[in-house]
Each structure stands twice: as C-alpha cells, then as structure tokens.
Structure 1
C-alpha cells in the first residue's frame, strides 16, 4: 500500500510504502528478510533458528515471532550480560521470550566475535544444531526477499528512499529498481563499511547513501526529533519508528528544503516497520525527562 504524504511544497510528491502493515508482528523488511531463510531452514530440516541482536532489536523480535508461527524453536544471542536479570523490564526481550525464544547473553567483547566459528561451535554443543540467521538478518536469501518490496506499480517513481541498518534491504531495492530510478539510503549510523556491505549484494550502481541524519548515531535522538515524529503522526496518521524510518523521513524533507530533488519528482519512501521498539524508546525518553512518542503499543 502506497500512502501519499501531504507536503508544504509543490516541488515533489511524496508517497510511503506501508511495509509496516505487511504482518501484525513480523513487519516490514524483517518479514521480507526472513521469508526465504525460513523456507531454506525447513528445506534443510532444521528445528531451531539462532540469531544475534541487541536489547531492543527489531530483528530479535521478528525471529521470535516468525519462529513460533512457523514451528521453529528460537535462540537469541543478546549483546550485554547486564540484561540477564532484566528481561521483564525490556519490552522487546519480554515479548520475544513470551514467543518462546531462549536467550544467550554475551558481554560486548564476546559479542564482537559473533561470526567466529569457535563461538558458533560452542553454541551448537550447548543447544544442538540450528539454522543460523546473521545479526540484522542480512544474507543472500534476505536480499532476495527484499527484492520483492518494489512492484511494477512502483515504476512511476523517480526516487526510492529507505533507511539502512545492515544493508540488506537497500541491496534488494537496488536490484529491483528500474534504470531511471535512483535509490537513496539513509543509514542509522555513520560508517564507510556500509557501502562495502551493500556492494556485496547490490547488482546496480544507481544508489547513494546520505549520512547527514543519524542524529549522532544508532538509536540516538533529540527532543526536537521526537517532536517531529509526533507532528508527522498528527498530520498524516502514519506512525514512524524512531531508529530507522523516522530519520529517513526527516532526511527526505530536509533534502526537499535544500532543493536536492528536481521539480515535480515522485518520491517513494519505504516504511520498514520497527514499531515494536517504540515502547523501549519511550522508557529511555522517560528516564531523561524528555517528551515521549505519542503512539505505538
């Protein structure tokens, strides 16, 4: 579903593809990334899935829900040993646990070795065989799923914009975009490594990363930015997650003010979901005494 966004200029027309509505629990790009991975896990006769993520990870929540729905046991390897006794205080982990996910908590030094075969072998000794899904879900099968985000109806757009985490979603979009379309990625954090990660999967060169709107880093926000999210919701009834899609929408509107886009451009924004993280973000905002996001569960 592509929903038009009212803007205060006739320079461009904005539409947002509501991938957040694709599934009630496994929404947006996580649904796309898991689609073919789950099929492959079934094909290989695996009974459980193992993946990695942080305390408020959309990916952790999605794997827990998708695993339960598709008959897999799930194991989440979580960054941060301090969370062992705080599961019930963390809305993401509490929901994942309720969906049946077991947790392994690693300190940050151990977590950096998440791709080390020694660690993976130790996990197999502890939990038995599993189908491994990488942190964030990005692999070749995930990119294949994300190639299905754009449809033939989206060929009318000049620009396709999406938030970027691990790079899998934008790689799929790049691969399915038409030659006349430019794909703009808005990273959640700065780093040259993202371009290299995207190039591992992207077949075309019609894309650009714009890193001016991270608000200082991954999951970092300001009171003014939270106010922006609430204004967008009040005027459009479109809820945006604060870590990914919200920053992308903010960035696109800023680029419009800078006349980045040619006049009368048609721009499609991809809403990649992530709404489950709002409750956790509001906990952090409350501790700081800041205004909270006025929507979400």
Structure 2
C-alpha cells in the first residue's frame, strides 16, 4: 500500500493534514524507542491513510505461505477510512485526532487456543494503564472491549479494541485458530480518540482524552506507553501459559472494569437478552451475571449495556 498524503492536493488553503494542534507521529522516534534487541516489537509502520489497520495486518499476516509475518508487527494509521469495531460498527474520526493501530501476536504452543480470548481484555488493561501514565487521565474498561472516560460527569466511550484471529490461510474469527507456532495468531486493533473536540463527536455517547481533561494529548508518548504496557502484560500472560489468574491479569482487569458491580443487559447472539448484575470475570474471560432467577450465568460474547450501578 502506498501512503497517501492529501496536503499537496489541498493546495495552500486549509488542509486536514495541517492542523497545528494535531502534529504527525514521529515514526523514526517510535521505532527507536520500541524496536530493540529482546523486544516484542519487531516492526513499527506508520501510514498516512488506510481503510483499516486491522484488515491490512490480517491480510499481511496470512500472506506469504505458512507462518506469514512473525509476531510483533505494529501498523499505525494517521487516518482510517473504513475502521470498524465489534459487530462491524464503523469508527469515524478526523485525521490525526486519535491513535489507530493494530498489532500481530502469535502465542503459539505456549498458550492453549482456548485462552486466546483473553487478548482483547489484556490489551484493554495495557491501554488503560498507558493512557493514565502518559496522558494523566482516568479511564475504565467496559467488558469486553471499550475504554471509557468521564466527560461532564457522564461515562463516555473514548476507545475500542477489536481482535481477529489469523490462521495459516488467513482465516479470521473472534478467537484463535491453529495452535502451531507461527501457524495461527491474533491481530488486535486499538482505536482511541485523543484530541477529538465536542463538535467532532460522531455520537453523543463518544468522548476523547481531551474532553476528559487529559494532562497531555501528545500521541507519541501515549502510543509508546500503550505498546510498552501491552508488551509487559503479554509477556507475563504468555509465560504463565495464558493463565490469567496466575499472572495477575484477571485481578488487574477486574480492578479496572466499570461493568462489574452494575446491573447490565447482555444482548446475546440469536436475539437473546439477559439482565443481571455483573459479579465477576471468570478464568476464561467471560462476564458472569447473577440473574433474578438466582443463577450465575457466564457470557462469552455479546453486547453489554450498563443499566445502573
């Protein structure tokens, strides 16, 4: 793919690429900081514009025969034109207003495939910690894949995470596929609204780090902090064979999860709905609901609506 820069076609007049409040990422500095001996990150690419970093990396990961790309590739876009979240929802944001990136992870035989479902939750923990550390903003996690901030006393979505499995033939899905080393993997995509202004919000329930009062909206240190946190948690989780309890991930996720302790409605596949109090995240990463019928039911997939505290 050839990166597209629209600044020339825009002429001397105002261009979406010339917003002084939204400087470009420094790709060279990011590589120097992240790609080093012994690091998880092998390659960091920054493109001006693409449809979806997840789609691009999924295609690259499955190409080139058995194994495809090695894990540790990071693809970042200054603008996405066909970004998507869970359930094929669209993600729209102005150029350079956020951080939009995808990473390729291949747990291989070190982690049983049935535990790969923890990867989006693990990423959420790393993202929340990175934003707090580098941006000075309080965040919370909505199970399974949303990053929340508080704007004007209201809970708003400022980020989302999408994980797609990659097999030897490039097959994708919600969880991992082949368990052979290099044979399967997961592309995890992250989108975070950083400097989005109130008049740029795609929906009233959206938010951004800037609107939440972040101390810093400098995207370079924000991205470095998130990727370093992801490397750290992924290393711990992988070393523990994917046991989220043993490596502390389950506890860390529960501590930062805004869904726990609330009455929620789980909108499940097959047009089913389940209402109950979210009481735990179990060892498989599922949300456990205590229903009015007096039973605890784990939810592994679905859309969660927060009803009340």
Pick the TM interval, shorter chain. Answer: under 0.3
Pick the structure with more strand per residue: 2
Query: Using CA pairs below 8 Å that are at least 6 residues apart, which structure has the higher relative contact order?
Result: 1
When you count helix as a share of all residues, which structure comes out higher? 1
- TM-score w.r.t. the length of structure 2 is 0.22
Output the TM-score relative to the length of structure 1. 0.23
